[in-house]
Amino acid sequence: MAATPFRAVNWSPNELVGEDKMTQISANMNWLRDNTPRVVYTLPSGLRRVEGVRIASGRIMIAARKSDDATATVRFSNFFSSRCQPNITTGIVATGQVRIFCVTHGIGQLQPDDRGFQVVVNIAAENKKTDKIAKSFYVHWQAMGY
């Protein structure tokens, strides 16, 4: 069995460990090492981590409404470690509406933490008549922490 990209290896009951399967397991380990994302998580406090870093992503929908602003909460459900302050990035996916501003902050505090974060969006229309969330849109987010 030649070393190829990652491939599952299974044994039948009472099957002896053979060179071909062990070679494939070694190739699988090399493939995983070579294809695992490399990240560095750094905070201004000097904390720097290269191992155990986690990345989460998702999107939340902001529904149309007569108001020009909205708030939505994203919860991490114990994905990140206690006291982690994940780095958050966002992006807007919308049609028919521009000048959408998005700000993130923690839940009841400035910095997002292991619990999650809040997204606050605002439409900055040029005239008061169109200053509302006329169409639903999405806020995509990515969070990196440990």
Q: Give the pLDDT of residue 28.
A: 92
CATH topology of domain 54-145: Immunoglobulin-like (2.60.40)
Encode pLDDT of 80-117 as tens digits: 999 899 999 999 999 988 899 999 999 999 999 999 99
Tell me the C-alpha to C-alpha distance, in Å, between residue 111 and each of 40, 71, 106, 114, 144.
19, 16, 5, 10, 14
Encode pLDDT of 35-64 as tens digits: 888 889 988 788 898 888 999 999 999 999
Q: Give the pLDDT of residue 36.
A: 84
Q: Give the pLDDT of residue 129.
A: 85
Q: Give the pLDDT of residue 130.
A: 86
Question: pTM of this prediction?
Answer: 0.76
